[in-house]
Amino acid sequence: MTIDSAHITYEETIPGGAYWSRVIRRNDTLRILAPEGSSGVALLCYNADNPIERYNAADTAKIQFNAFLKKGMVIYSDMGRILFSIVEDTCGYHDTLGGCSNLATNAKYGEGDYKNSRDNFLLALTKRDLGKKDIMPNLNLFTRIAVEPNGNLVWANKTAQPGQYIDLRAEMNVLVVLSNCPHPLDPNPAYDPKPIQATVWSSPAPTADDLCRTANPEAKRGFQNTDAVFA
168-214 tens-digit pLDDT: 999 999 999 999 999 999 999 999 999 999 999 999 989 989 999 99
Contact 136, 30 (CB under 8 A): no
Q: What is the pLDDT of residue 231?
A: 86
92-147 tens-digit pLDDT: 999 999 999 999 999 999 999 999 999 999 999 999 999 999 999 999 999 999 99
Alpha helices in the chain, H assignment, sequence order: 57-64, 117-126, 217-230
Q: Enumerate the domain spans of the chain.
A: 6-230
38-86 tens-digit pLDDT: 999 999 999 999 999 999 999 999 999 998 999 999 999 999 999 999 9
In 49-179, which ranges are E strands?
Answer: 74-76, 82-89, 94-95, 139-141, 143-147, 153-159, 164-170, 174-179
* Selected residue with higher pLDDT from 128 and 231: 128
State the DSSP H helix or E strand holding residue 157, giving kind and residue range, or none if neither.
strand 153-159
The mean pLDDT value for 30-37 works out to 98
Phi, psi dihedrals of residue 6, rounded to the nearest 5°:
-70, -20
How far is residue 47's CA from residue 41's CA, in Å, rounded to a whole number? 20
